[in-house]
Amino acid sequence: MAIARKQVPDSGWKRLRGYFVTGLLVLGPVMITIWIIVNLFIVMDSLLGRPIQYLLGEVIGIPFFQQQILYGLGFITLLALIVLAGWFSKQYLGNRLVLLVNKWFERIPLVNKVYVAILQISQALLGGQKEVFKYAVMIEYPKSHVYSIGFVTQDTKGAPQDSIAEDVISIFVPTTPNPTSGYLLFVPKKDVAYLNMSVEEALKLVISAGAIVGRAGGGSREAARRLGIRLRPLHEGDYLPPQRRDPDE
């Protein structure tokens, strides 16, 4: 008569596997970041550092560059070129040139998809779009009990507000993963939940399709208190009387 053996779960192996996965998640981003920086350093030294050192040492004849190999010269040159490109793009001629280059890349099949996506994400995270977006919020959209992240652009005024009985606020709801397109909504202030998250962190959440959860903080909830707007969930002390609107505004 065969006796069935009771299988004991290999908890030691599971713990070891869990430690390995956790360690990979901890060290992976660090090692990848270091690898990218080191390789960028080496590549820039090869592409920019050596030609510049040859120009300064052999062509111009500066003794220091003839006798010493200056590592990191290419990386420093890259930083200087980035600053110079930023300054030049602010000038009239530079701005026209940037627009011309953008149009040229947008006409190249396949390349335009990659270029436009990178350009839009860069503008969302580094460009002026963060300045347009004042606060990160959560609203019920596109239907009840379904929530979307939005960004406050301004306290609605003029014809849009005059045609609505409720006190509303202008909110831009971006699409994923391209946050430069989306919908402009006029939402009652009482239906807006201000996130405890900065605009930049909320943009990362949108671009990554929810994979990257940003750090807490950023001032949106504090701003809501200053504006007299209700916070969700409603807690004691979180409510301030709504500000009265001047009819002459």
66-101 pLDDT, tens digit each: 777 777 888 888 888 888 988 888 888 888 888 888
Q: Which one of 6-15, 20-29, 125-134 scores highest in mean pLDDT?
A: 20-29
DSSP 126-169: HSTHHHH--EEEEEE-SSTT-EEEEEEEE---SHHHHT-SS-EE
Judged against a pLDDT cut of 50, whether residue 176 lies above it is answered with yes
Alpha carbons 131 and 140: distance in angstroms, whole number: 24
What is residue 249's predicted lDDT score, i.e. its pLDDT? 40
pLDDT at 232: 55
Residue 204 pLDDT level (bands cut at 50, 70, 90): confident
Q: In this model, does residue 236 exceed pLDDT 50?
A: no
For the segment 147-152, the average pLDDT, to the nearest whole number, is: 90
Average pLDDT of the chain is: 77
239, pLDDT greater than 50: no
Q: 73, 53 in Cβ contact below 8 A?
A: yes
Distance between the two ends of the chain, CA-based, in angstroms? 92
pLDDT at 218: 63
- What whole-number distance in Å separates Cα of residue 16 and Cα of residue 238? 46
Residue 205 · residue 213 · CB < 8 Å: yes
* Tokens standing for residue 38: 């080191």
The encoded tokens of residue 32 equal: 């990848």
Tell me if 137 sits within 8 A of 125, measured CB to CB: no
Determine the pLDDT at residue 241: 45
Q: What is the pLDDT of residue 233?
A: 55
Average of per-residue pLDDT across 42-58: 82
Q: What pTM did the predictor assign?
A: 0.49
SS3 74: helix
Task: Give the span between the Cα atoms of 141 and 147, in whole angstroms.
Answer: 5
**49 — pLDDT class (breaks 50, 70, 90):** confident
4 confidence band (pLDDT: 50, 70, 90): low
CB atoms within 10 A of CB 124: 23
Radius of gyration of the chain from its Cα atoms, rounded to whole angstroms: 27
Q: How far apart are CA 42 and CA 45, in angstroms?
A: 5
Confidence of residue 129 (pLDDT cuts 50, 70, 90): low
The answer to whether 198 and 213 are in contact (CB under 8 A) is no
Rounded Cα–Cα distance for residues 43 and 75 (Å): 9
